[in-house]
Structures are given as C-alpha cells and as structure tokens.
Amino acid sequence: MPHRAPGSPGHRGGKYLTGKAISYYRPRGSAEVRQLIDGGFQAFNAGRLSEACHIFADKMLAPEHDTTIGLTVAGALTPAGLGGCVIEMMERGLVDFVISTGANLYHDLHYALNFTLHRGSPFLDDVELYEQGIIRIYDVLFPATVLLETDAYIRDFLVRSKLAGPIATSELHYRLGLDLLERQPGCEAYSVVASAARAGVPIYTSSPGDSSIGMNIAYHELMNGSTLMIDPNRDVNEVCAIILAGKKNGCVILGGGSPKNFYLQGQPTLWEVYSIPKGGNDYFIQITTDSVVWGGLSGATPAEAVSWGKVNPGVLPDTVVAYCDSTIAFPLFCEYAVGSENGRRPRKELVHKRDAMVADLLRQAKEAQTSPREPIESEPAEIDRHR
C-alpha cells in the first residue's frame, strides 16, 4: 500500500462519520437511577456497584470525614464521552485530585477545541478506514485531522506558555487548562482539563511520555531546543503530600493501569521511604474489568493492598471492587453521588496548595529522620480475601 499521511487532505470520511456526535454526558442526580441502584442492584456485581455508591455517598462524602478523594482514570473514557462525569464530580467538590492516563487528557482536548468524535461501529473495515483517514477507538470514529490539529494546538501552547525546566504534570495540565479557558471561552463545560483548572483540581499523569501530549513535549525539546521536561519526582512528592494532608483518604479507581498504582503508592512512599506512618487508605473503590488471578496490579484487590500498607487493615468493609465496564458503571455511580444528600462539598482547590503541602511533607520527613522507626507488626491482620 502506498504511504500516505493519515488525515492528509482529500480524505473526508464519507459514510463513516455520519454517526451522532459523542458529547460529554453530565449526571444530574436522577432519582430513578438511585432507586434502581438501591432497589434493583442487589447481588453479584450490581450488588458491588450499589455498595460502592453507598461507601462513596454515605461515607467518603460525609462532611464529618472530610475525605481527600483521588480519582484515577484508565481505559479510553474521554473518547467514550465520560469526561462529563469527571467534570461534574470536580465542579461539585466530589473529587479533589485526578490521576489519568495521558491519552484521556489528550482526547479531552478534542472536545475543548470543538472537534467532533462520532458514534460508530466496532465492526468496520480498518483498511478502508485507513484509506479514508479515519481513526477508530473501538466504536468511536473521528478524522485523523483531529489528531493533527490537536497536536498543533499543544505545540503552539508549549511555545506560547514559555514553560521551561522541570515541572510537575499538575503544573502542565493547570497551565494547559488556563490556556484553553482563555482561548476557548466556555470550554470548561466540555473539557476535563479546562474544568479542572477552573475548579482548582490538580491532574497528574503517571506515565507522561506515553501519550500524544508527551509526544509533542518531546518534539518541543528536539525541534525548538526547549528545556521543558516533566519531572516525575515532583508528581510523586505532590501526590504523597496531598495524601499526607488528608484527614481521611479515599480513591475511586476506574480501570487499573499505572494511574491506580500511582495513587496507591502514596501511602508506601510515606511509611516506607519517608518514615511517616499515615496508616493506609481509608476508602477504596475500584470499577474494573481486570481480574485478580493474573497477579497484576490492575486486578489486585484492596485486601492485597493491605499487605503493602496501601489500605488500612481496619477498614476493609469500606473497600469494594465492582467488576464492570466503567463506561456503564461510572455514569450510574455519578448519578447516585450527585443525587445524594452529600452531592456537593466545598472544593479543596488543591492546585493552589501544592507548594505548601510539599513543604509540610519535607518538614515531617525531616522530623521522622530524627525519631526511631516504629517496629513492623509481625502478626498480620485478619483479612477477608474476597475484598
């Protein structure tokens, strides 16, 4: 087949791009969905999802617990239109920080820049799609020009922003969000990155080189001689400092992948590396299709996380894994949370507190150096292997 650049002019997508535009669905707290989850979701994974909704709405969001909540996002969720759920949760203060694959943030930019992704079918001829210059993410279709124009926006932003030297991904995404808000007024309703900047929610990426955002940062260094580089150490310390500052800590893990561990490793970083015993996560909710039997971290249960000091052994009843496709379960979960009594909290706006929290981490770590380490308990806690 002769080489052609995907999305090169002359390729229009024809019949493939006639499906409805994918939009960001915003949960509104539907009473019917709450009734279904409370009354109809009784056993198996429906039961687990119902349990997850209750742990989140009744405990994690309870004002007296003041839980610092991290959301981790893996799997192609923004292409599927789930960014609206994330936006609603951030705006309402129901999520305090986010750890996402770079891909979800990159594809979120298409919505911010007003490009259209279309509903389609997973059963198409991919050679023909290639010839037509169409990209397929399972049943989501869009012209390859969307990639090229989104990449051009990122590169222009990098030049315009004059960002230089080592920075955290939270800073990169915050600045990107501010740029979107300025150049695309109103886009906060259609973009997780823009909405997070407005709501003060820091967004981290656990593997910054592994997305088209990272690819364009690499271009900026090679072609423009930029000194900008993502410093994962800052991300590790910021996430750790956010967890340390939390009165209680809890997470909602969508999928698995590296965002899951990047969140969970915060507790071991505290006790194992900085000698600050925080006691482990207080709440753990995971919605995933990953199974435990392969031994990978994506499918690892909260019970296994206890052995690492990632989850507090005393709180296993407040942990749950619902084995579901998150494109189905997460919108239901969000409807439940938004419609609950605790469906709005004051936002923590952690993006503006990062330096102060890292300074506190440093202070406590230095103090810990001068005091002897607590001995590790030899008797493991009794744990329920089903969790």
Ligand X SMILES: NC(=O)c1ccc[n+]([C@@H]2O[C@H](COP(=O)([O-])OP(=O)(O)OC[C@H]3O[C@@H](n4cnc5c(N)ncnc54)[C@H](O)[C@@H]3O)[C@@H](O)[C@H]2O)c1
Between 256 and 266, whose beta carbon lies closer to ligand X? 256
In residues, how long is the chain? 387
Task: Provide the minimum distance between the beta carbon of 256 and ligand X in the complex, in angstroms, as a whole number.
Answer: 3
What DSSP assignment string belongs to 47-98?
HHHHHHHHIIIIIIT-TTT-EEEEEEE-SSTTTTTTHHHHHHHHHTTS-SEE
Instruction: Answer left, alpha or beta for residue 114, where phi above 0 means left and psi between -120 and 50 means alpha.
Output: left
Binding of ligand X by 30 (CB under 6 A)? no
* Binding window for ligand X (CB under 6 A); candidates: 2-10, 274-282, 321-329, 366-374: 321-329
Task: Provide the minimum distance between the beta carbon of 241 and ligand X in the complex, in angstroms, as a whole number.
Answer: 24
Contact 194, 87 (CB under 8 A): no
Contact 100, 193 (CB under 8 A): no
> What single-letter DSSP state applies at residue 36?
I
Which residue's CB comes closest to ligand X? 255
Contact 99, 201 (CB under 8 A): no
Q: Reply yes or no on whether 310 is catalytic.
A: yes
Task: Provide the minimum distance between the beta carbon of 103 and ligand X in the complex, in angstroms, as a whole number.
Answer: 3
From candidates 51, 290, 318, 335, binder to ligand X by CB under 6 A? 290
Q: How far apart are CA 135 and CA 114, in angstroms?
A: 17
Binding of ligand X by 309 (CB under 6 A)? no
From candidates 16, 41, 97, 106, binder to ligand X by CB under 6 A? 106
Task: Provide the minimum distance between the beta carbon of 262 and ligand X in the complex, in angstroms, as a whole number.
Answer: 11
Q: How far apart are CA 204 and CA 236, in angstroms?
A: 9
Binding of ligand X by 327 (CB under 6 A)? yes
Binding of ligand X by 212 (CB under 6 A)? yes
Q: How far apart are CA 192 and CA 88, in angstroms?
A: 9
Binding of ligand X by 207 (CB under 6 A)? yes
Q: How far apart are CA 348 and CA 196, in angstroms?
A: 12
Binding of ligand X by 257 (CB under 6 A)? yes
Q: How far apart are CA 57 and CA 339, in angstroms?
A: 9
Task: Provide the minimum distance between the beta carbon of 289 and ligand X in the complex, in angstroms, as a whole number.
Answer: 4
Between 145 and 312, whose beta carbon lies closer to ligand X? 145
Site size toward ligand X (CB under 6 A) is 21
Between 207 and 364, whose beta carbon lies closer to ligand X? 207
Binding of ligand X by 190 (CB under 6 A)? no
Binding of ligand X by 255 (CB under 6 A)? yes
* Binding window for ligand X (CB under 6 A); candidates: 88-96, 170-178, 191-199, 203-211: 203-211
**Residue given tokens 């482990």 in the structure block:** 280
What distances in angstroms separate CA 289 from CA 36, 103, 136, 322, 323, one per listed residue?
22, 19, 21, 8, 5
Between 120 and 257, whose beta carbon lies closer to ligand X? 257
Binding of ligand X by 319 (CB under 6 A)? no
Q: What is the largest CA-CA distance in the chain?
A: 69
Binding of ligand X by 211 (CB under 6 A)? yes
From candidates 150, 191, 288, 312, binder to ligand X by CB under 6 A? 288
* Binding window for ligand X (CB under 6 A); candidates: 40-48, 121-129, 206-214, 263-271: 206-214
Binding of ligand X by 111 (CB under 6 A)? no
Site for ligand X in 43-102 (CB under 6 A): 74-76, 101-102
Q: What is the torsion angle, in degrees rounded to the nearest 10, for the CA atoms of residue 87, residue 91, residue 97 and residue 102? A: 20
H helices within 114-209, ranges in order?
A: 126-132, 144-161, 169-183, 192-199
**Residue given tokens 């397929």 in the structure block:** 136
The catalytically annotated residue of 278, 310, 348, 366 is 310
Task: Provide the minimum distance between the beta carbon of 203 and ligand X in the complex, in angstroms, as a whole number.
Answer: 13
Between 296 and 314, whose beta carbon lies closer to ligand X? 296
Between 52 and 74, whose beta carbon lies closer to ligand X? 74
Between 298 and 312, whose beta carbon lies closer to ligand X? 298
Name the 3-class secondary structure at 125: coil
Instruction: Give the sign of the dihedral formed by CA 295, CA 297, CA 300, CA 304.
Output: positive
Positions annotated as catalytic residues are 310
Binding-site ranges for ligand X (CB under 6 A): 74-76, 101-103, 106, 207, 210-212, 255-257, 288-290, 298, 325-327
